[in-house]
Amino acid sequence: MPWLYALLAAAAFAVAFRASSVTLVIICLLVACVATLAAALGWLAQRVASRSRDESSLVDAVELQRLREQAEARRLAAAAESTALGDARR
């Protein structure tokens, strides 16, 4: 879609340079400026959208709590294992 705005802006500039009526030149220059701004904003929006993360990959509260519980269980198991190894060496 930004390409269409860019083409519209180029066409409006071309008409403005060829026109002999001051009113037509002003209208074409305004259209060209607005179309150029719309094209630039469209390209920026596409760039931001391409760099953003997929919202479906975000972790919800229930999943986050489950992950915390798993991490805590692993930490406790590792601590118990290191304690058992320390006792076995004595």
Across 36-40, 47-51, 82-86, least confident range: 82-86
Q: Are residues 38 and 79 in the same domain?
A: no
Q: Are residues 3 and 23 in the same domain?
A: yes
Q: Are residues 18 and 46 in the same domain?
A: yes
Q: Are residues 36 and 59 in the same domain?
A: no
Number of domains in the chain: 2
Residue 89: pLDDT over 70: no
| Chain Cα centroid distance, residue 38 | 18
Domain that holds residue 24: 1-52
- Position 26 confidence tier, pLDDT thresholds 50, 70, 90: very high
Helix (H, G, I), strand (E, B) or coil at 16: helix
